[in-house]
Structure 1
Amino acid sequence: MSFQPNQPGPCPVTSTQQGNLTNLGTTLNTTAVTTPTIKVPVVLAEPTLEINVEADITLSPAATEIKRVKKNVFLNQVKLIPTGFARIATTSDYFRVTTAKLFVAGHIRKNIEYATASCNAPLQDQIADVPFTGATTLTFAAGAAAPIIGISEMAESNFLNDTTQMDARLDKYFFQNLVKYNEQPYGELVAANFFELDFSPTLTDPEAAFSTLREKIVLDLTVKVIQVQQLQIPTANVVTPILTGLTPPVSP
Protein backbone atom coordinates (compact mmCIF):
# COMPACT_ATOMS: atom_id res chain seq x y z
CA MET A 1 0.00 0.00 0.00
CA SER A 2 1.47 3.36 -0.97
CA PHE A 3 1.66 6.07 1.71
CA GLN A 4 -0.19 9.31 0.99
CA PRO A 5 1.40 12.32 2.75
CA ASN A 6 -1.90 14.19 2.98
CA GLN A 7 -3.86 11.23 4.35
CA PRO A 8 -5.53 12.23 7.68
CA GLY A 9 -4.95 10.20 10.84
CA PRO A 10 -2.01 8.03 11.94
CA CYS A 11 -0.21 5.62 9.66
CA PRO A 12 -1.73 2.08 9.75
CA VAL A 13 0.38 -0.60 11.44
CA THR A 14 -0.21 -4.37 11.36
CA SER A 15 0.45 -6.25 14.62
CA THR A 16 0.24 -9.88 15.74
CA GLN A 17 -0.92 -10.95 19.21
CA GLN A 18 1.86 -12.95 20.89
CA GLY A 19 0.05 -15.46 23.11
CA ASN A 20 -1.56 -14.87 26.50
CA LEU A 21 -0.54 -12.05 28.83
CA THR A 22 0.97 -13.02 32.17
CA ASN A 23 0.14 -11.20 35.38
CA LEU A 24 2.03 -11.08 38.65
CA GLY A 25 1.10 -9.44 41.91
CA THR A 26 3.06 -6.29 42.79
CA THR A 27 4.90 -6.34 46.11
CA LEU A 28 4.01 -3.36 48.30
CA ASN A 29 6.00 -1.55 50.91
CA THR A 30 4.07 0.03 53.80
CA THR A 31 5.34 2.76 56.09
CA ALA A 32 3.32 3.58 59.20
CA VAL A 33 2.38 7.23 59.69
CA THR A 34 0.93 8.57 62.95
CA THR A 35 -2.09 10.92 62.79
CA PRO A 36 -1.87 11.80 59.09
CA THR A 37 -4.12 14.55 57.72
CA ILE A 38 -6.02 13.73 54.55
CA LYS A 39 -8.22 15.87 52.31
CA VAL A 40 -11.23 13.94 51.06
CA PRO A 41 -14.88 14.42 50.06
CA VAL A 42 -17.08 14.11 53.16
CA VAL A 43 -20.77 13.19 52.91
CA LEU A 44 -22.65 15.81 54.94
CA ALA A 45 -26.20 14.63 54.24
CA GLU A 46 -28.06 12.17 52.03
CA PRO A 47 -31.69 13.35 52.06
CA THR A 48 -34.59 11.97 50.03
CA LEU A 49 -36.72 14.85 48.75
CA GLU A 50 -40.37 14.42 47.77
CA ILE A 51 -41.04 16.50 44.65
CA ASN A 52 -44.60 16.84 43.32
CA VAL A 53 -45.03 17.91 39.71
CA GLU A 54 -48.03 18.26 37.39
CA ALA A 55 -47.60 18.82 33.66
CA ASP A 56 -49.55 18.71 30.40
CA ILE A 57 -47.70 17.20 27.44
CA THR A 58 -48.95 17.70 23.89
CA LEU A 59 -48.75 14.57 21.73
CA SER A 60 -48.30 14.96 18.00
CA PRO A 61 -49.70 12.97 16.30
CA ALA A 62 -52.56 12.28 18.68
CA ALA A 63 -52.56 9.04 20.67
CA THR A 64 -55.15 6.35 21.30
CA GLU A 65 -53.16 4.34 23.85
CA ILE A 66 -50.04 4.91 25.97
CA LYS A 67 -47.76 1.89 25.76
CA ARG A 68 -44.74 2.74 27.89
CA VAL A 69 -43.14 5.71 29.66
CA LYS A 70 -39.45 5.66 30.60
CA LYS A 71 -38.10 8.31 32.96
CA ASN A 72 -34.74 9.70 34.07
CA VAL A 73 -33.71 12.65 36.23
CA PHE A 74 -31.20 15.34 35.26
CA LEU A 75 -30.08 17.83 37.92
CA ASN A 76 -29.09 21.35 36.95
CA GLN A 77 -28.18 22.49 40.44
CA VAL A 78 -27.75 21.31 44.02
CA LYS A 79 -26.85 24.36 46.12
CA LEU A 80 -26.45 24.63 49.88
CA ILE A 81 -27.14 28.01 51.52
CA PRO A 82 -26.02 28.16 55.21
CA THR A 83 -28.50 29.81 57.60
CA GLY A 84 -27.23 28.82 61.07
CA PHE A 85 -23.70 28.71 62.49
CA ALA A 86 -21.73 27.53 65.52
CA ARG A 87 -18.18 28.77 66.06
CA ILE A 88 -15.54 26.05 65.99
CA ALA A 89 -13.68 25.99 69.31
CA THR A 90 -10.25 27.67 69.44
CA THR A 91 -10.87 29.42 66.11
CA SER A 92 -12.03 32.99 65.73
CA ASP A 93 -13.61 32.91 62.31
CA TYR A 94 -14.37 29.30 61.28
CA PHE A 95 -17.87 27.96 61.81
CA ARG A 96 -19.82 24.72 61.58
CA VAL A 97 -23.06 25.12 59.68
CA THR A 98 -25.95 23.99 61.91
CA THR A 99 -28.84 24.63 59.50
CA ALA A 100 -28.99 25.27 55.78
CA LYS A 101 -31.36 25.49 52.84
CA LEU A 102 -30.78 22.98 50.08
CA PHE A 103 -31.94 24.19 46.66
CA VAL A 104 -32.41 21.64 43.88
CA ALA A 105 -33.46 22.14 40.28
CA GLY A 106 -33.58 19.92 37.24
CA HIS A 107 -35.96 18.10 34.96
CA ILE A 108 -37.55 14.71 34.43
CA ARG A 109 -36.82 13.36 30.97
CA LYS A 110 -39.78 11.32 29.77
CA ASN A 111 -39.71 8.99 26.78
CA ILE A 112 -43.34 8.29 25.86
CA GLU A 113 -44.23 5.45 23.50
CA TYR A 114 -47.84 5.38 22.27
CA ALA A 115 -50.14 4.06 19.54
CA THR A 116 -52.16 6.18 17.13
CA ALA A 117 -55.55 5.63 15.53
CA SER A 118 -54.06 4.55 12.20
CA CYS A 119 -54.37 0.89 11.28
CA ASN A 120 -51.05 -0.96 11.60
CA ALA A 121 -49.23 2.30 12.30
CA PRO A 122 -45.81 2.17 13.95
CA LEU A 123 -45.49 3.18 17.57
CA GLN A 124 -44.79 6.85 18.12
CA ASP A 125 -41.99 8.04 20.39
CA GLN A 126 -41.96 11.45 22.02
CA ILE A 127 -39.45 12.93 24.48
CA ALA A 128 -40.52 15.63 26.94
CA ASP A 129 -38.60 17.43 29.69
CA VAL A 130 -40.65 18.24 32.81
CA PRO A 131 -38.82 20.87 34.92
CA PHE A 132 -38.91 21.03 38.71
CA THR A 133 -37.35 23.18 41.43
CA GLY A 134 -37.59 23.49 45.19
CA ALA A 135 -35.82 23.93 48.51
CA THR A 136 -35.71 22.11 51.83
CA THR A 137 -34.13 22.66 55.25
CA LEU A 138 -31.21 20.54 56.44
CA THR A 139 -30.13 20.34 60.10
CA PHE A 140 -26.65 19.20 61.12
CA ALA A 141 -26.47 17.76 64.63
CA ALA A 142 -23.62 18.55 67.00
CA GLY A 143 -20.79 16.06 66.60
CA ALA A 144 -21.93 14.94 63.13
CA ALA A 145 -20.36 15.87 59.80
CA ALA A 146 -21.35 19.38 58.80
CA PRO A 147 -20.31 22.04 56.30
CA ILE A 148 -17.40 24.19 57.44
CA ILE A 149 -17.15 27.81 56.39
CA GLY A 150 -14.60 30.52 57.06
CA ILE A 151 -15.77 34.11 57.29
CA SER A 152 -13.83 36.81 55.46
CA GLU A 153 -13.13 40.03 57.34
CA MET A 154 -12.45 43.64 56.43
CA ALA A 155 -11.10 46.33 58.78
CA GLU A 156 -10.50 50.05 58.38
CA SER A 157 -8.50 52.56 60.45
CA ASN A 158 -8.92 56.35 60.35
CA PHE A 159 -6.49 59.11 61.31
CA LEU A 160 -6.56 62.55 62.90
CA ASN A 161 -5.35 65.67 61.19
CA ASP A 162 -1.61 65.84 61.93
CA THR A 163 -1.66 69.61 62.40
CA THR A 164 -4.82 70.40 64.32
CA GLN A 165 -5.50 67.05 66.03
CA MET A 166 -9.13 68.22 65.95
CA ASP A 167 -10.58 66.75 62.81
CA ALA A 168 -10.34 63.62 60.67
CA ARG A 169 -8.08 63.19 57.70
CA LEU A 170 -10.18 62.18 54.73
CA ASP A 171 -7.15 61.45 52.57
CA LYS A 172 -5.51 58.82 54.74
CA TYR A 173 -6.82 55.34 55.63
CA PHE A 174 -5.46 51.94 56.58
CA PHE A 175 -7.28 48.91 55.19
CA GLN A 176 -6.96 45.23 56.06
CA ASN A 177 -8.74 42.42 54.20
CA LEU A 178 -8.68 38.77 55.20
CA VAL A 179 -10.23 36.56 52.51
CA LYS A 180 -10.92 32.86 53.14
CA TYR A 181 -11.57 30.60 50.17
CA ASN A 182 -13.98 27.83 51.14
CA GLU A 183 -14.61 24.46 49.54
CA GLN A 184 -17.99 24.72 47.85
CA PRO A 185 -20.47 22.02 48.97
CA TYR A 186 -21.84 20.13 45.98
CA GLY A 187 -24.39 17.44 45.23
CA GLU A 188 -24.47 14.01 43.63
CA LEU A 189 -27.49 12.20 42.25
CA VAL A 190 -28.09 8.90 44.07
CA ALA A 191 -31.56 7.60 43.15
CA ALA A 192 -34.93 8.60 41.76
CA ASN A 193 -38.19 6.80 42.55
CA PHE A 194 -41.18 7.78 40.42
CA PHE A 195 -44.88 7.44 41.22
CA GLU A 196 -47.03 8.84 38.45
CA LEU A 197 -50.52 8.95 37.04
CA ASP A 198 -50.89 9.64 33.29
CA PHE A 199 -54.29 10.35 31.76
CA SER A 200 -56.16 12.43 29.23
CA PRO A 201 -57.76 15.48 30.90
CA THR A 202 -60.90 14.86 28.77
CA LEU A 203 -62.52 11.43 28.87
CA THR A 204 -62.16 9.68 25.51
CA ASP A 205 -63.96 6.68 24.05
CA PRO A 206 -62.02 3.53 23.11
CA GLU A 207 -60.15 4.01 19.82
CA ALA A 208 -60.72 7.78 20.08
CA ALA A 209 -57.66 10.01 19.90
CA PHE A 210 -56.36 12.47 22.48
CA SER A 211 -53.56 14.97 22.03
CA THR A 212 -52.93 16.06 25.64
CA LEU A 213 -51.43 13.83 28.29
CA ARG A 214 -51.75 15.09 31.86
CA GLU A 215 -49.17 13.79 34.32
CA LYS A 216 -49.16 13.94 38.10
CA ILE A 217 -45.76 12.83 39.38
CA VAL A 218 -44.43 12.17 42.87
CA LEU A 219 -40.64 11.95 42.68
CA ASP A 220 -38.61 10.71 45.65
CA LEU A 221 -35.20 12.14 44.81
CA THR A 222 -32.15 11.04 46.83
CA VAL A 223 -29.01 13.19 46.65
CA LYS A 224 -25.70 13.35 48.45
CA VAL A 225 -24.45 16.69 49.80
CA ILE A 226 -20.64 16.68 49.88
CA GLN A 227 -17.83 19.02 50.87
CA VAL A 228 -14.11 18.39 50.57
CA GLN A 229 -12.63 18.62 54.08
CA GLN A 230 -9.41 17.85 55.95
CA LEU A 231 -9.61 14.87 58.29
CA GLN A 232 -7.06 13.50 60.72
CA ILE A 233 -7.01 9.74 61.25
CA PRO A 234 -5.23 7.91 64.11
CA THR A 235 -2.87 5.78 62.03
CA ALA A 236 -2.35 4.92 58.39
CA ASN A 237 0.15 3.26 56.08
CA VAL A 238 1.82 4.99 53.17
CA VAL A 239 1.91 2.36 50.41
CA THR A 240 4.56 2.33 47.69
CA PRO A 241 5.14 -0.42 45.10
CA ILE A 242 8.35 -2.42 44.95
CA LEU A 243 9.18 -2.77 41.25
CA THR A 244 12.23 -4.99 40.81
CA GLY A 245 14.53 -4.26 37.93
CA LEU A 246 13.41 -0.68 37.41
CA THR A 247 15.68 1.00 39.96
CA PRO A 248 19.21 0.27 41.14
CA PRO A 249 19.43 -1.97 44.21
CA VAL A 250 19.95 -0.30 47.58
CA SER A 251 23.56 -0.56 48.75
CA PRO A 252 24.04 -2.44 52.03
Structure 2
Amino acid sequence: MEYCNSKKEDCGKVESTTLPLCPGVNITPTGICGPVVAKIPVVLAQREVQVDVESKIYLKKPLFEIKRVKKDVFLTQCKLIPRAGIIEGGVLRTGKLFISGYVRKNIEYATSECKEDKIVKGEINHITAKIPFTCVTEVTYVVPPVINLRGFSREIDLLCTKQGDCKVCEEEFMGRSLCETEFEETVYYNEKPYCELISARIFEADIQRCEEENWHKEDCLMEKEANYEAKDKKKEITTKLTEKMVVFITVKVLQVQQVNIC
Protein backbone atom coordinates (compact mmCIF):
# COMPACT_ATOMS: atom_id res chain seq x y z
CA MET A 1 0.00 0.00 0.00
CA GLU A 2 1.35 3.37 -0.97
CA TYR A 3 1.03 6.35 1.34
CA CYS A 4 0.99 9.97 0.31
CA ASN A 5 3.75 11.86 2.13
CA SER A 6 2.85 15.26 0.76
CA LYS A 7 1.69 17.82 3.32
CA LYS A 8 -1.87 19.00 3.20
CA GLU A 9 -2.13 22.62 2.11
CA ASP A 10 -3.38 25.01 4.80
CA CYS A 11 -6.42 26.73 3.28
CA GLY A 12 -7.25 28.88 6.32
CA LYS A 13 -9.01 28.72 9.65
CA VAL A 14 -12.54 29.49 10.84
CA GLU A 15 -13.53 30.36 14.40
CA SER A 16 -17.11 31.05 15.49
CA THR A 17 -19.02 31.65 18.72
CA THR A 18 -22.75 31.50 19.38
CA LEU A 19 -23.78 34.56 21.41
CA PRO A 20 -26.54 34.24 24.03
CA LEU A 21 -29.52 36.60 24.18
CA CYS A 22 -29.12 39.31 26.83
CA PRO A 23 -32.36 40.36 28.58
CA GLY A 24 -33.34 44.03 28.75
CA VAL A 25 -36.09 46.44 29.74
CA ASN A 26 -37.69 49.03 27.47
CA ILE A 27 -37.54 52.57 28.86
CA THR A 28 -39.92 55.26 27.66
CA PRO A 29 -38.02 58.51 27.06
CA THR A 30 -39.38 61.68 28.64
CA GLY A 31 -38.90 65.35 27.85
CA ILE A 32 -40.01 68.82 28.88
CA CYS A 33 -43.13 70.49 27.55
CA GLY A 34 -42.90 73.50 25.28
CA PRO A 35 -42.52 76.23 24.47
CA VAL A 36 -38.74 75.88 24.69
CA VAL A 37 -35.63 77.33 23.06
CA ALA A 38 -33.43 74.65 21.54
CA LYS A 39 -30.02 74.80 19.89
CA ILE A 40 -30.24 72.42 16.94
CA PRO A 41 -28.88 72.03 13.38
CA VAL A 42 -30.89 74.08 10.88
CA VAL A 43 -30.87 73.42 7.13
CA LEU A 44 -29.60 76.52 5.32
CA ALA A 45 -29.64 75.15 1.77
CA GLN A 46 -29.62 71.95 -0.26
CA ARG A 47 -28.23 71.79 -3.77
CA GLU A 48 -27.42 69.25 -6.48
CA VAL A 49 -24.13 70.14 -8.14
CA GLN A 50 -23.05 68.85 -11.55
CA VAL A 51 -19.32 68.14 -11.93
CA ASP A 52 -17.87 67.16 -15.33
CA VAL A 53 -14.55 65.30 -15.15
CA GLU A 54 -12.25 63.81 -17.77
CA SER A 55 -9.35 61.68 -16.61
CA LYS A 56 -6.74 59.25 -17.90
CA ILE A 57 -5.77 56.05 -16.10
CA TYR A 58 -2.63 54.20 -17.16
CA LEU A 59 -2.62 50.42 -16.75
CA LYS A 60 0.59 48.41 -16.57
CA LYS A 61 -0.83 45.39 -18.40
CA PRO A 62 -2.58 45.35 -21.77
CA LEU A 63 -6.30 45.78 -21.34
CA PHE A 64 -8.62 43.41 -23.18
CA GLU A 65 -11.98 43.94 -21.47
CA ILE A 66 -13.37 45.73 -18.42
CA LYS A 67 -15.23 43.30 -16.16
CA ARG A 68 -16.46 45.45 -13.28
CA VAL A 69 -16.26 49.05 -12.07
CA LYS A 70 -17.15 50.11 -8.53
CA LYS A 71 -17.36 53.82 -7.73
CA ASP A 72 -17.66 55.90 -4.57
CA VAL A 73 -17.65 59.67 -4.05
CA PHE A 74 -15.78 61.34 -1.18
CA LEU A 75 -15.69 65.03 -0.26
CA THR A 76 -12.49 66.50 1.16
CA GLN A 77 -13.78 70.08 1.35
CA CYS A 78 -17.22 71.67 1.56
CA LYS A 79 -16.73 75.27 2.64
CA LEU A 80 -19.46 77.92 2.69
CA ILE A 81 -18.61 81.61 2.32
CA PRO A 82 -21.92 82.89 3.73
CA ARG A 83 -21.67 86.59 2.83
CA ALA A 84 -20.19 86.20 -0.67
CA GLY A 85 -23.56 86.14 -2.43
CA ILE A 86 -26.62 88.37 -2.72
CA ILE A 87 -27.73 90.51 0.25
CA GLU A 88 -31.16 92.14 0.08
CA GLY A 89 -32.28 94.55 2.79
CA GLY A 90 -29.57 93.30 5.11
CA VAL A 91 -30.77 89.68 4.72
CA LEU A 92 -28.47 87.05 3.22
CA ARG A 93 -30.06 85.42 0.17
CA THR A 94 -27.23 83.41 -1.43
CA GLY A 95 -23.71 82.27 -0.63
CA LYS A 96 -20.74 80.61 -2.33
CA LEU A 97 -20.02 76.95 -1.67
CA PHE A 98 -16.55 75.53 -2.43
CA ILE A 99 -16.53 71.77 -3.01
CA SER A 100 -13.53 69.46 -3.44
CA GLY A 101 -13.28 65.70 -3.43
CA TYR A 102 -12.57 62.65 -5.52
CA VAL A 103 -14.24 59.67 -7.15
CA ARG A 104 -12.71 56.43 -5.94
CA LYS A 105 -12.87 53.84 -8.72
CA ASN A 106 -11.97 50.19 -8.53
CA ILE A 107 -11.63 48.74 -12.02
CA GLU A 108 -11.48 44.99 -12.56
CA TYR A 109 -10.28 44.08 -16.04
CA ALA A 110 -9.04 41.16 -18.12
CA THR A 111 -5.61 41.28 -19.71
CA SER A 112 -4.43 39.96 -23.06
CA GLU A 113 -1.18 38.05 -22.63
CA CYS A 114 -1.64 35.37 -25.28
CA LYS A 115 -3.78 35.85 -28.38
CA GLU A 116 -4.45 33.26 -31.06
CA ASP A 117 -7.00 32.86 -33.82
CA LYS A 118 -10.03 32.19 -31.61
CA ILE A 119 -8.59 32.35 -28.10
CA VAL A 120 -7.46 35.22 -25.91
CA LYS A 121 -5.71 34.24 -22.69
CA GLY A 122 -4.97 36.54 -19.78
CA GLU A 123 -5.47 37.30 -16.12
CA ILE A 124 -7.98 39.24 -14.07
CA ASN A 125 -6.38 42.35 -12.58
CA HIS A 126 -7.70 45.36 -10.75
CA ILE A 127 -6.63 48.93 -10.12
CA THR A 128 -7.95 51.56 -7.71
CA ALA A 129 -7.71 55.22 -8.69
CA LYS A 130 -8.76 58.46 -7.02
CA ILE A 131 -10.03 60.98 -9.57
CA PRO A 132 -10.06 64.46 -8.00
CA PHE A 133 -12.49 67.27 -8.75
CA THR A 134 -13.15 70.78 -7.45
CA CYS A 135 -15.82 73.38 -8.16
CA VAL A 136 -17.64 76.44 -6.79
CA THR A 137 -21.41 76.84 -6.78
CA GLU A 138 -23.91 79.40 -5.50
CA VAL A 139 -26.53 78.21 -3.01
CA THR A 140 -29.84 79.92 -2.20
CA TYR A 141 -30.72 80.01 1.47
CA VAL A 142 -34.05 78.63 2.63
CA VAL A 143 -33.04 79.90 6.08
CA PRO A 144 -30.32 82.57 6.22
CA PRO A 145 -27.26 81.79 8.34
CA VAL A 146 -26.76 83.66 11.60
CA ILE A 147 -23.59 85.70 11.11
CA ASN A 148 -22.61 88.42 13.59
CA LEU A 149 -19.76 90.68 12.52
CA ARG A 150 -17.02 91.90 14.79
CA GLY A 151 -17.86 95.25 16.37
CA PHE A 152 -15.89 98.45 15.81
CA SER A 153 -12.91 99.01 18.03
CA ARG A 154 -13.21 102.02 20.35
CA GLU A 155 -10.25 103.84 21.83
CA ILE A 156 -10.23 105.61 25.19
CA ASP A 157 -7.68 108.40 25.66
CA LEU A 158 -6.38 109.24 29.12
CA LEU A 159 -5.22 112.60 30.38
CA CYS A 160 -1.60 113.04 31.29
CA THR A 161 -0.44 115.89 33.54
CA LYS A 162 2.79 116.81 35.14
CA GLN A 163 1.50 115.63 38.49
CA GLY A 164 0.42 112.28 37.03
CA ASP A 165 2.30 109.01 36.89
CA CYS A 166 3.19 109.40 33.21
CA LYS A 167 6.89 110.23 32.79
CA VAL A 168 7.69 112.58 29.93
CA CYS A 169 10.81 114.39 28.85
CA GLU A 170 9.27 117.85 28.52
CA GLU A 171 9.30 120.12 31.53
CA GLU A 172 5.74 121.30 30.90
CA PHE A 173 3.30 118.68 29.59
CA MET A 174 -0.48 118.33 29.72
CA GLY A 175 -2.59 116.41 27.19
CA ARG A 176 -3.23 112.90 25.91
CA SER A 177 -1.24 110.19 27.58
CA LEU A 178 1.29 108.70 25.19
CA CYS A 179 2.19 105.79 27.41
CA GLU A 180 -1.26 104.36 28.14
CA THR A 181 -4.34 103.79 25.95
CA GLU A 182 -7.50 101.77 26.57
CA PHE A 183 -9.55 99.94 23.95
CA GLU A 184 -13.06 98.51 23.77
CA GLU A 185 -14.19 95.94 21.21
CA THR A 186 -17.01 93.39 20.84
CA VAL A 187 -16.25 90.01 19.27
CA TYR A 188 -18.98 87.52 18.25
CA TYR A 189 -18.21 83.84 17.84
CA ASN A 190 -20.48 82.30 15.21
CA GLU A 191 -21.42 78.70 14.67
CA LYS A 192 -19.56 77.38 11.65
CA PRO A 193 -21.78 76.12 8.78
CA TYR A 194 -21.06 72.56 7.70
CA CYS A 195 -22.10 70.15 4.96
CA GLU A 196 -23.59 66.69 4.66
CA LEU A 197 -23.20 64.52 1.58
CA ILE A 198 -26.69 63.28 0.71
CA SER A 199 -26.25 61.36 -2.56
CA ALA A 200 -24.17 61.05 -5.71
CA ARG A 201 -25.10 59.97 -9.23
CA ILE A 202 -22.35 59.06 -11.68
CA PHE A 203 -22.64 58.75 -15.46
CA GLU A 204 -19.47 57.71 -17.25
CA ALA A 205 -17.89 56.37 -20.41
CA ASP A 206 -14.66 54.34 -20.24
CA ILE A 207 -12.76 54.53 -23.52
CA GLN A 208 -9.69 52.39 -24.21
CA ARG A 209 -6.89 54.24 -25.95
CA CYS A 210 -3.78 52.66 -27.45
CA GLU A 211 -0.40 54.34 -27.50
CA GLU A 212 -0.88 55.15 -31.16
CA GLU A 213 -4.28 56.74 -31.69
CA ASN A 214 -4.66 55.41 -35.26
CA TRP A 215 -4.32 51.72 -34.29
CA HIS A 216 -7.35 49.47 -34.08
CA LYS A 217 -8.05 47.69 -30.81
CA GLU A 218 -7.01 44.18 -31.88
CA ASP A 219 -3.99 45.38 -33.86
CA CYS A 220 -2.90 47.41 -30.91
CA LEU A 221 -2.98 44.40 -28.58
CA MET A 222 -1.12 42.20 -31.08
CA GLU A 223 1.52 44.83 -31.66
CA LYS A 224 1.96 45.33 -27.96
CA GLU A 225 2.36 41.59 -27.43
CA ALA A 226 4.97 41.42 -30.17
CA ASN A 227 6.95 44.24 -28.60
CA TYR A 228 6.47 42.65 -25.20
CA GLU A 229 8.04 39.35 -26.31
CA ALA A 230 10.80 41.09 -28.25
CA LYS A 231 12.03 42.88 -25.15
CA ASP A 232 12.05 39.65 -23.06
CA LYS A 233 9.38 41.10 -20.79
CA LYS A 234 11.84 43.53 -19.21
CA LYS A 235 9.54 46.49 -19.65
CA GLU A 236 5.91 46.56 -18.64
CA ILE A 237 3.38 47.80 -21.15
CA THR A 238 1.13 50.73 -20.33
CA THR A 239 -2.37 51.03 -21.73
CA LYS A 240 -4.26 54.27 -21.40
CA LEU A 241 -7.89 54.32 -20.29
CA THR A 242 -9.76 57.59 -20.88
CA GLU A 243 -12.77 58.28 -18.70
CA LYS A 244 -15.46 60.91 -19.11
CA MET A 245 -17.70 61.34 -16.08
CA VAL A 246 -20.69 63.47 -15.15
CA VAL A 247 -21.15 63.47 -11.38
CA PHE A 248 -24.27 64.86 -9.70
CA ILE A 249 -23.57 65.54 -6.02
CA THR A 250 -26.34 66.49 -3.58
CA VAL A 251 -25.11 68.34 -0.48
CA LYS A 252 -26.95 69.84 2.45
CA VAL A 253 -25.61 72.93 4.24
CA LEU A 254 -26.45 73.27 7.94
CA GLN A 255 -25.71 75.54 10.88
CA VAL A 256 -26.43 75.12 14.57
CA GLN A 257 -28.92 77.83 15.59
CA GLN A 258 -31.20 78.67 18.49
CA VAL A 259 -34.78 77.83 17.54
CA ASN A 260 -38.04 78.58 19.35
CA ILE A 261 -40.13 75.41 19.64
CA CYS A 262 -43.77 76.03 20.55
The two structures share one fold, judged by TM-score above 0.5: yes
Letter in 1 for 2:155: S
Alignment of 1:198-217 (within 5 A): 198-201=206-209, 202=213, 204-207=215-218, 208-209=220-221, 211-217=239-245
Q: Bigger shift: 214-223 or 199-208?
A: 199-208
Q: Find the aligned partners of 1:17 and 1:200 in 2 and give their Cα distance.
A: 51
Contact 2:203 2:247 in 1 (8 A): yes
CA distance in 1, matches of 2:159, 2:175: 6
- TM-score, normalising length from structure 2? 0.69
Matches within 5 A, 1:143-182: 144-157=142-155, 159=157, 162=160, 169-182=177-190
Task: Tell me the distance in 1 between the aligned counterparts of 2:31 and 2:187.
Answer: 37
Q: Which residue of 1 aligns with 2:198?
A: 190
Structure-2 change in CA distance of 1:24 and 1:46 (3 Å): same
2:132 is matched with 131
CA contact (8 A) 2:85 2:96 kept: no
Spell out, residue by residue over 1:76-121, the C-alpha distance to the aligned partner (whole angstroms, 9 max, x if none): 0100002247699xxxxxx753221000000000111111112443
Letter in 2 for 1:130: I
| Aligned partners of 2:193 and 2:255 also within 8 Å | yes
**Where is the helix percentage greater, Structure 1 or Structure 2?**
2
In the alignment, which residue of structure 2 is the partner of 1:78?
A: 78
Unaligned runs of at least 5 residues, structure 1: 1-15, 89-94, 235-252
Rg larger in structure: 2
Residues 179-233 of structure 1: CA deviation (Å, up to 9, x unaligned)? 1111111111111101111102436534443700111110000111111111111
Q: Is the 2:93–2:140 Cα contact (8 Å) retained in structure 1? A: yes
Q: Distance in 2 between matches of 1:167 and 1:118?
A: 93
Structure number with higher strand proportion: 1
Helix, strand or coil at the partner of 2:61: strand
**Residues 85/65 of structure 1: CA separation in 2 closer, same or farther (3 Å cut):** closer
May I ask how many residue pairs the two structures share in their alignment? 209
Distance 1:175 1:87, change over 3 A: farther
Give the match for residue 103 of structure 2: 108
* C-alpha contact (below 8 Å) 1:154/1:175 kept by paired residues: no
User: Once structures 1 and 2 are overlaid, which stretch shifts more, 76-85 or 36-45?
Assistant: 76-85
Q: Give CA-to-partner distance per residue, 1:39-83, whole Å, 9 cap, x none.
A: 111111110000001111101112122222111011101000022
Instruction: Indicate which of 210, 223, 234 corresponds to 2:251.
Output: 223
Answer yes or no: is the 8 Å Cα contact 1:190–1:223 preserved in 2: yes
% of aligned pairs identical? 39
Asked if structure 1 preserves the Cα contact closer than 8 Å seen for 2:52 and 2:247, the reply is: yes
Give the match's secondary structure for 1:26. coil
Report deviation, 1:32.
5.3
Residue of structure 2 aligned with 1:99, choices 84, 94, 101: 94
Q: Which residue of the partner structure matches residue 26 of structure 1?
A: 27
1:86 and 1:184 map into 2 onto residues whose CA distance is 19
Give the secondary-structure state (helix, strand or coil) at the position aligned to 1:47. strand
**TM-aligned CA distance change 1:73 to 1:203, over 3 Å:** farther
Q: Distance in 2 between matches of 1:129 and 1:17?
A: 40
Whole-angstrom distance in 1 between the partners of 2:202 and 2:62: 25
